[in-house]
Amino acid sequence: EVQLVESGGGLVQPGGSLRLSCAASGFTFSSYWMSWVRQAPGKGLEWVANIRQDGSQKYYVDSVKGRFTISRDDAKNSLFLQMNSLRVEDTAVYYCARDRLGYWGQGTLVTVSS
């Protein structure tokens, strides 16, 4: 069974940093593109970033470019999102998803507030 479990969310002040993690199981992690998608409270879905199987290609939505970095550790079946210079508008539930979003985790809440 495919499982994606996010962690690392929490409350952070504007300008601060957080590192999200996603632990994957039930499939060959190294064979799939992986993505982060977020959802602000009461709002719709926004794709944030994704990363190719070998990490050689990474794509970001414009609003996070230069602030967020997606990475992966295939040996540990893990996906990461390093978030720096956080803004109030980054407040959202962040989901980890596999490939073309066929599987999703339960999400982790990031709250940016002073």
Q: For binding to another protein (CB under 8 A), which residues are involved? A: 35, 37, 44-47, 50, 59-62, 95, 100-102, 104-107
Least distance from C-beta 79 to another protein, angstroms? 15
Closer residue to another protein in complex, CB, 85/106: 106
SS (H, E, C) the chain: CCEEEEECCEEECCCCCEEEEEEEECCCHHHCCEEEEEECCCCCEEEEEEECCCCCCEEECHHHCCCEEEEEEHHHCEEEEEECCCCHHHCEEEEEEECCCCEECCCEEEEECC
Least distance from C-beta 51 to another protein, angstroms? 13
Closer residue to another protein in complex, CB, 13/31: 31
Least distance from C-beta 114 to another protein, angstroms? 28
Beta-bridge partner residues of 34: 51, 98
Closer residue to another protein in complex, CB, 41/75: 41
Least distance from C-beta 13 to another protein, angstroms? 27
